[in-house]
């Protein structure tokens, strides 16, 4: 038996960062993502977000790659939202996503951060936050502010 303990913090946004995840539907969409993850043997530790994005803390397994987890959760959930007409307009996720490893010593910090998204985004926009993540994790290879 293999023993794996690798946590990944995923972040992705709605297409063009449209504020489609209103308070009225957000919990329904996140609950569906939880149920879909469970069916696909993806251990979703925490999920939350705001009107234009999602954060997920996922414990990886031996069968799925980081890319495959993102594809399975994003693709199926956007299909489900549209099929069930959860939003008034067509729903889609942005193609890109961010995935960052989380050490055991940071798990509680990340869990609290994910749980407090609504309060957090009253102080800082997702766009500003995303740029901070890009810089913090060294994804900004151009050296320029995007």
pLDDT above 80: residue 11: yes
| Consecutive H or E run containing 54 | strand 53-59
CA end-to-end span of the chain: 45
For 7-134, CATH gives 3.30.70.1290
> Across the chain, what does the average pLDDT equal?
92
Average pLDDT over residues 34-54: 97
Structure tokens belonging to residue 34:
């939880």
Mean pLDDT of 97-119: 95
In 3-state terms, what secondary structure has residue 50? strand
What's the rounded mean pLDDT across residues 22-36? 96
**Strand order across the beta sheet in which 43-50 lies:** 43-50, 53-59, 7-13, 98-102
pLDDT value at 144 more than 70? no
Express as a percent the part of the chain with pLDDT over 70.
Answer: 96
- Is pLDDT at 131 greater than 70 in this prediction? yes
Residue 33 has pLDDT above 90, yes or no: yes
Q: What is the reported pTM?
A: 0.90
What's the pLDDT tens digit per position in 51-84? 999 999 999 999 999 999 999 999 999 999 999 9
Sequence spans of domains, the chain? 7-134
């Amino acid at each position: 038996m293999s023993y794996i303990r690798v946590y990944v913090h995923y972040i992705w946004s709605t297409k063009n960062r449209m504020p489609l995840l209103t308070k009225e539907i957000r919990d329904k969409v996140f609950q569906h993502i939880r149920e879909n993850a469970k069916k696909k043997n993806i251990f979703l530790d925490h999920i939350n977000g705001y009107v234009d994005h999602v954060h997920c803390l996922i414990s990886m397994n031996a069968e799925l790659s980081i890319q495959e987890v993102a594809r399975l959760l994003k693709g199926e959930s956007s299909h489900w939202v549209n099929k069930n007409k959860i939003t008034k307009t067509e729903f889609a996720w942005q193609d890109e996503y961010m995935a960052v490893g989380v050490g055991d010593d940071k798990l509680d910090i990340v869990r609290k951060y994910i749980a407090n998204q609504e309060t957090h985004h009253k102080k800082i926009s997702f766009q500003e936050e995303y740029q901070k993540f890009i810089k913090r994790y060294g994804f900004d290879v151009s050296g320029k502010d995007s």
